[in-house]
Amino acid sequence: MDVESDITELRKNYKKDWRFRLALIGTGLALVVVVLGAFTRLSHAGLGCPDWPGCYGHLLWPNEGHEIAAANAAFPDTPVETDKTWPEMVHRYFAGILLMLVAGLTYMFWRRRGHRGFIQSHILLGIILLQAAFGMWTVTLKLWPQVVTAHLLGGMATLSILWMLAERLRYRRRLIPPHEFSALQKLRPLAVIAVVAVCLQIALGGWTSSNYAALACPDFPTCHNQWWPDTDFSQGFNVAQQIGPNYLGGAMENDARTAIHLTHRIGAIIVTLLVSLLALLAWRAGSPRWAQGLLVVLCLQVGLGIANVVMFLPLPIAVAHNAGAALLLLSLLTFCYRINTVQPAIKNYP
C-alpha cells in the first residue's frame, strides 16, 4: 500500500472514529449491565419487583412508608423488600440506556447501508430487544432457570458483539514477520474450540446459578468428601421442566444440583486445559504478551471459582466470577479476531 493510499485510509477511518467510540462506550455499558445482572441474581433480587417494567407500579421503587404500605396492599403475595427492589430497577435502567445506545448506533449504520458493520449492528439490536423480553419473562415466569440462563447468554452475546464491532471499526494495520504469521494461523482451530468451550462453560455457570447449585459441593477439590458423590444428571439437566410456580431458591433435589455443580467443575478443567495449551502455543509462536494475558485472566477466573466454593459464595467474589467469565470470553474473541486479520510483513526488494 503506497503513502497516498495510507493517507486516504486514515482519513476514512477518522470519519468512522465516532462509531468506534460509541461501540466502545456500548461495550463498557454492556459489561456494567452484565455485572449488575449477576449482582441482582446472586443477591436473590431477581423478583425484587413483581411487575414489569415498573416496580410495584413505580418508575423507580417504593421507599417511603406510605408507598411501601400501598405496594404491600397491591401485591400481598410479594411484600416489599427494599434491599431487593433497587438492584432490580438499577439493572433495568442501565439495560434501557444500553438499548437506546444500540438503537442509535444501528440507525447510524442504517444510514450507510454499505458499511461493513451494518449487518452486525442490526443483529445486535435484535439480540438486545430479545434481551428485554427475557428480562420481562424472568419476572413473569418467576426465575424459570431456562429463561434466566438464556438472559445471561444474551447479555454475554450483546457484550461480545459490541466489542467485536469496536474491533472492526478500529483502524490498525497489523503486520508481523512471516514465520510468526504462519505459526499463528495454525492456532486458529484451537482458538475457535477454546471460544466454544468458554461459551458452553458460561452456559453451565448460568444453569448452576439459576438452579442454586453453586454450593451443591461445599468442599474442594472433592465434593461431599468424595470424588464422585451421588448425582442425578437426568433431573439436573432436564431443560423440558415445567414452568413455575416460583424458582426462587431452586426447585431441584440435592443430587440433581450436585450433578450440575460437578459438570461445571469438569467444564472448568476442560477450559483450563484448552486455554493453557493455546497460551503455550501462542508463546511459542512469538506472541508472549497474548499468552501472558490469557493465562492471567484464566488464573484469575479459576481462582475466583475455587474461592466461591471454599468461602461459601461471598457476593463480591461471585459477582467478580461473572465479570471474569466475560473478560475471558472477550480475550479469546479478540485473539481469534487478531490472528484472522493480521498480515505477514513482506519486504519489497528493488
pLDDT per residue as tens digits for the range 82-107 = 999 999 999 999 999 999 999 999 88
Phi/psi of residue 252, nearest 5 degrees = -105, 155
Task: Report whether 152 contacts 186 (CB < 8 A).
Answer: no
**What is the rounded average pLDDT for all residues in the chain?**
90
Residue 3 has pLDDT above 60, yes or no: no
Residue 4 has pLDDT above 50, yes or no: no
Helix H or strand E encompassing 228? none
Higher pLDDT pick, 263 / 108: 263
- Could you tell me the three cell numbers for 131? 434481551
Residue 309 and residue 215 in contact, taking contact as beta carbons nearer than 8 Å: yes
Catalytic residue among 64, 81, 88, 253: 88
Q: Which H or E run includes 344?
A: strand 343-344
Lowest average pLDDT, out of 55-64, 170-179, 323-332, goes to 170-179
Rg (CA), the chain: 23
Is the pLDDT at 150 greater than 80? The verdict is yes
Q: Indicate the pLDDT class of residue 1, thresholds 50, 70 and 90.
A: very low
67 tagged catalytic: no
Find out whether 216 and 177 touch, Cβ atoms under 8 Å: no
177: CB partners within 8 A, 6+ apart: 286, 344, 345
Is residue 175 classed as helix, strand or coil in its secondary structure?
A: strand
CB 311 within 8 A of CB 335: no
In this structure, of 89-103, 121-135, 335-349, the range with the lowest mean pLDDT score is 335-349
Q: What is the mean pLDDT of residues 156-163?
A: 96
Cell 450507510, residue?
A: 112
Percent of the chain with pLDDT over 90: 75
Question: What distance in Å separates the CA atoms of residue 298 and residue 92, rounded to the nearest whole number?
Answer: 30
- 12 — pLDDT class (breaks 50, 70, 90): low
Which residues are CB-contacts of 70 (< 8 A; sequence separation ≥ 6)?
Answer: 62
Q: How far is CA 19 from the centre of its chain?
A: 22
Among candidate residues 47, 38, 331, the one with its CA nearest the CA of residue 195: 331
pLDDT at 10 over 50: no
